Amino acid sequence: MSRSGAIDRIDALLATVSDPAFVSVVRGEPLGIAGTPALAFWITGREVNFMTLKDVTTNTDFLIRAYFRMQTSQDVRENLELDVWDAMVNIDQALRDDADLAGNVADSNVGTISTGYTEMSGVSYRTVDVPFTVEFMGEITITP
């Protein structure tokens, strides 16, 4: 199991999503978006799942966010809803297709996906938030 391997695999899986056709996948919460639709993911927390006498198994939480630039045209905004739904389904599918992230984690889970809006640098974006948790068996060794 490997933390860097897990992050690389999440990046690679997100890059396979082709509907909608994301122009980029960014590691870390972006300060600006060059083009849309775009994906970004970052760590939001970590907790102990369970301990034995020898090691600690943890869960690390990620947030995967899709960004869609808002448009003034009503027709374009209406078409955006299909892109949002496609993003929810296809990101979910890509992550579930490799639950152990190529052997880098013990398991993973996609949480409840939600939508919203955010603004960056005066630009409004429609967002899709995908909570994603990975379980790392024996991440910390306990030495007696």
The number of domains in the chain is 1
pLDDT tens digit string along 103-138?
999 999 999 999 999 999 899 999 999 999 999 988
Q: Which residue range forms the structural domain that includes residue 62?
A: 3-141
Give the separation between CA 33 and CA 50, rounded to whole angstroms: 38
Q: What is the pLDDT of residues 33-78, one digit of tens each?
A: 988 999 999 999 999 988 888 989 899 999 999 999 987 666 656 7
11: helix, strand or coil: helix
Question: Where residue 137 sits, what CATH number does that domain have?
Answer: 3.30.70.1700
What single DSSP character describes residue 142? P
Q: Given this model, what pLDDT does residue 106 score? A: 93
Output the CA torsion sign for 82, 117, 14, 61: negative
Please, which residues bridge with residue 110 across strands?
132
42 to 17, 127, 132: CA distances (angstroms): 18, 15, 10
d(CA 31, CA 138): 34
Count of positions (residues) in the chain = 144
User: Residue 12: pLDDT band by 50, 70, 90 thresholds?
Assistant: very high
User: Is the model's pLDDT at 92 over the cut of 90?
Assistant: yes
Can you list the positions of beta strands (E) in 52-106?
Answer: 55-69
The share of the chain scoring above pLDDT 90, in percent, equals 74
* pTM score: 0.91
